[in-house]
Amino acid sequence: MSTTLTPAPAAPTGTPARAPRTDLTRPPFGRLVRVEARKTFDTRAGLWLSASIVVLAVLATGAVIAFAPDEALTYEQFASAIGIPMAVILPMLAILSITSEWSQRSGLATFTMVPSRGRVIAAKAVVSLLVGVVSMVVALGVGALGTLVGSLLTGLDPVWDVSPSEFASLGVANLLGMAVGFMLGVLLRSSPAAIVGYFVFTFVVPTLSMTLAAFQDRWADAQPWADFGYAQTALFDGWPDGEQWAQLGVSSLPWLVLPMLVGLWLVTRSEVK
């Protein structure tokens, strides 16, 4: 018994054929970056954290002018004073850029409109990088203004005792701090847990490592290669040499790179409610 296939009726003349959907319907990456940048400052916490970078930079500059001796009014002194609050605030911004999708329950809408979660996380990483660079430029500009004001008040010549290589190494240190915050946000996806984890990572772990190094010679020898916090201290003493860069790279593998990969794997597979 044979079966005859009847062809489907042709579309009426003049009716346009529906074009198949393609990848071109995805929002471009630049648009994702703009959206994530707006979301970073739309929240109350993100707005005030960003504003506090400028406010604290001005306050730190004023404190140096008011309380430091005249001979200490150098650009290095201003940069060090401004760098302390920045080292805390910038990682908090990176953390909140990730955890807000879960704490504010906006992730369901975000990942419904953009199902490729990796593109969203990449856009958030770019925004965190841009915020870090712009914040450092603003803070360094405030420090330069403080140096000029201090020299006018004291009648001394301004002292520019920070070289371009030292600027660059301090910038790398701040960006690594943001990377740690970003990693904890991706890994834990909870604002309180990630913030507590950052302070443990930054203050508790280095203290334990230094204590262990004081009593264990083996750990003291391995510390530059195994302790990520210890390896980063080279960035605050000028531009690191080749061995110090190698130590920074090796120590970042278990403390930064591997947890980031685990966090990205969890983000792409976790349920968003």
Task: Write the CB contacts of 150 (distance below 8 Å, at least 6 apart in sequence).
Answer: 64, 65, 73, 78, 158
Exposed, middle or buried: residue 135 (CB in 10 Å: 0-12, 13-18, 19+)? buried
CB 85 within 8 A of CB 58: no
Q: Using alpha carbons, list the distances in angstroms from residue 65 to 54, 56, 68, 163.
A: 17, 14, 6, 22
Task: Write the CB contacts of 138 (distance below 8 Å, at least 6 apart in sequence).
Answer: 53, 54, 57
pTM for the structure as a whole: 0.84
Chain segment 142-199, per-residue pLDDT in tens: 888 888 888 888 888 888 888 888 888 888 998 999 999 999 999 998 889 999 999 9
Helix axes 75-103, 191-199, angle to 10 degrees: 150
| Token couple for 202 | 């930054």
Overall average pLDDT of the 124-131 stretch = 91
Which carries the bigger pLDDT value, residue 100 or residue 213?
A: 213
- Alpha carbon distance 185, 263 (integer Å): 8
Q: DSSP E strands: which ranges in the chain?
A: none
pLDDT higher than threshold 80 for residue 112: no
Q: Which residue bears the tokens 């794997």?
A: 265
